[in-house]
Structure 1
Amino acid sequence: MIAAQLVPTPVGPLSLLSREGVLVAAGFTADPTEMFVRLTPALQSEGLEVVDDLGPAASATRAYLAGDLDALDEIPVSQPGSPTRKRLHQALREVKAGTTVSYAELAERAGLPRTAARAAGSACAQNLIAPFVPCHRVLPSGGGYGGYYYGVPVKEWLIAHESGQMMNAG
């Protein structure tokens, strides 16, 4: 069974989905089924149950929101993908809170050529476990915030939160 919990955040509810203590999806939505339908058919076949407390993942989220910016790093995650995508997701987890990288830099950190920036962008777009796999920390080299699956205002808030420049969600 996939267990889900909603955790309130300043930018809206964060749905956490976990299987046997490993986070398989997380996203800024009030409806956990929006994340559930993005899982593999094998995981979907296990069913979804909303619970009151997922334990460590929910505690880490609350700690992160309270200012412990490294709290999410300790939570185990698992998501599907090619070996290249898995390398990119692992490199994303190593980008420290309060810092950002470009797509080309992310590719380089994953041991791929800088020309793999497009693959890095795809890995971010397909990331199922935000903000635990922090694709919000990747910015276009040309400036601005670029896109974000949950909307640019959420990305802006996450970056501001991590840099100590709190701002109101809007």
Structure 2
Amino acid sequence: MNQKKTISTLIVLGSGGHTTEMFRLLSGTDLNVYKPRYYTIASTDTMSAKKMKEFEQNTLDDMNVSFINRSRHVGQSYFSSIFTTLWAFFTVIPLVYRIRPKLILINGPGTCIPIVIASLLLSLFFLIDRPKIVFVESICRVQSLSLSGKILQYLPVHILVQWPQLTEIYPKTQYIGRLV
């Protein structure tokens, strides 16, 4: 019997438009390949949790949801966000270790930064296999990367952009056309 290989996937959801774009992206994939799917959502983000349940309602797959601390709240100063990001980082280490994702799919919310760093550090110390990390920049980012994208360009992350001019400014990015 020929069974498809599945890929354990960690999906980071963010508030508002990030969540909408992520589900548009996921709707164009073969969900039978990307499973089990683990979702992380900021503990204060009730809208994303609702959208995730709606998206997954017709699948028979087990969904795994974890609520995590936000790295940065809307309007929070960059200085104070250093401390909330560090706190979020330490709280996601056990989560990433337990899940051991093969793929981490992110699209911009600040909560993705601690998850990416935790996964890279855990793999550096051979505690997990290094996952493939794919960052899809938002369609609304036409002239520059988001703060998350600017940070992630210095890490071993595949950064996909939806506007060709971004590859001229940020050579580590890859233009993939409009996805969402």
- Report the TM-score, using the length of structure 2 for normalisation: 0.30
Q: Which structure's residues are more often strand, by fraction?
A: 2
- Report the TM-score, using the length of structure 1 for normalisation: 0.32
